[in-house]
Amino acid sequence: MPSVSTQITWIVVGYAALVVVLAVMVAVRRGERPAWLDQMAWMLELLLVVRALVGLSAFRGDGPDSVSTYVGYLLASVCVLPIAIRSVEGDRAPWSSAVLAVAALAVGVIAVRLEMTG
Binding stretches for another protein (CB under 8 A):
66, 68-69, 72, 76, 80, 84, 87-88, 90-91, 93-96, 98-99, 102-103, 106
Select 47 or 80, whichever has its Cβ closest to another protein: 80
Select 61 or 90, whichever has its Cβ closest to another protein: 90
Sequence-distant (6+) residues with CB within 8 A of 71 are none
Query: For residue 100, which amino acid is it?
Result: L
Select 4 or 65, whichever has its Cβ closest to another protein: 65
Q: How far is the CB of 93 from another protein (least distance, A)?
A: 4
DSSP 60: S
Round to whole Å and give the CA distance between 62 and 51.
20
Q: What is the dihedral of CA 8, 10, 15, 21, to 10 degrees?
A: 160
Sequence-distant (6+) residues with CB within 8 A of 83 are 103
Q: How far is the CB of 2 from another protein (least distance, A)?
A: 25
Q: How far is the CB of 73 from another protein (least distance, A)?
A: 9
